[in-house]
Structure 1
Amino acid sequence: MKAILTKVAVAAASLFILHGAAQAGQQDFTIVNKTGYPLKHIYVSESDNEKWDEDVLGRDMLDNGESFELSFAKAEKTCKWDMKVIYDDGESAVWQDLNLCQISKLTLRWNKNTGVTSANIE
């Protein structure tokens, strides 16, 4: 069990590097919160992973109008990723099969008429 936990910890550490990394991967992208509400958690996992990796936000909240840059290790080759955001009230939104090799920015917006969170891809 300890070996599995160590492997998971090493994999998570090698996938996500804090903003400003010199050896950035081609999957790096910026999340812009234009939902009108704070986001409490952001999870990004390989699309073929059945579980969510750790919260990549690494801080208390991503307030409305703020952005967050997510950087990957240069050695990371996977392009297809899933993303889940959780609002401060516990509501969530999920996107699957995001090709992060072709995305540089995701602007999240919430439509109060439909109750749907969308992501504008750039």
Structure 2
Amino acid sequence: MRAKLACAPLALALITTPAMAEDWDFVLTNDTGKTVTQVELTPTGQAKWAAQRTEEGVPSEVKNGNDWTVHFDKAEGTCDYDVRLTFADKSTAVWTGLNVCDNAFAEFSYRNGNPVIVVDDD
């Protein structure tokens, strides 16, 4: 009986613990024609923007034509994200529907003035 009682608090803690975010990343290729100064993400359609996690002492600026590894907390059960980029000129743009579960590399650019994400289909 004593063993069953000792496990009860642990089982209760596991049941009441909220879903935790996971550490994730993807490689962003900046083909926007501008320097990116901030990357923010939100699950598609939620508009709860969270800045990417940055490492102390590592610049978070991404010049046009360069790649950047974006680190973020992925919500459980969510694969599709919207990405908001802020540029050196203080303008912003939003790219929608990046599936981070299926795509580790994504090129952010414009086509006919509209934000476009190009992913590797391999």
1:56 corresponding residue in structure 2:
52
Identical counterparts, % of pairs: 25
Unaligned runs of 5+ in 2: 1-19
* Greater Rg over alpha carbons, structure: 2
Aligned match of 2:29 in 32, 40, 54?
32
Distance 1:92 1:57, change over 3 A: farther
Contact in 2 for aligned 1:80/1:100 (Cα 8 Å): yes
CA distance in structure 2 between the aligned counterparts of 1:43 and 1:75, rounded to whole angstroms? 14
- Give, in whole Å, the separation in 1 of the partners of 2:39 and 2:74: 21
Amino acid aligned to 2:49: W
Cα gap change, 1:115 to 1:57, in 2 (>3 Å) = farther
CA distance in 1, matches of 2:38, 2:44: 18
How far the C-alpha of 1:66 sits from its partner, in A, is 1.6
Q: Which runs of 5+ in 1 are unaligned?
A: 1-10, 17-24
- Compared with structure 1, are the counterparts of its residues 86 and 60 closer, same or farther at alpha carbon in structure 2 (3 Å cutoff)? same
Write out per-residue CA displacement over residues 17-63 of structure 1, whole angstroms, 9 at most, x where no aligned residue.
xxxxxxxx5xx32101122220111101222533211x216344111
The aligned amino acid for 1:115 is: G
Q: Is the 8 A contact 2:39 2:84 kept in 1?
A: yes
| Contact 1:41-1:57 within 8 A present in 2 as well | no
Match of 1:86 in 2: 86
> Once superposed, what is the RMSD of the aligned Cα atoms?
2.8
The normalised TM-score by structure 2 is: 0.61
Q: What is the distance in 1 between the residues matched to 2:28 and 2:41?
A: 11
Larger strand percent? 2
* Residue-pair matches, total: 97
2:39 to 11, 21, 42: 42
C-alpha distance in 1, partners of 2:96/2:74?
22
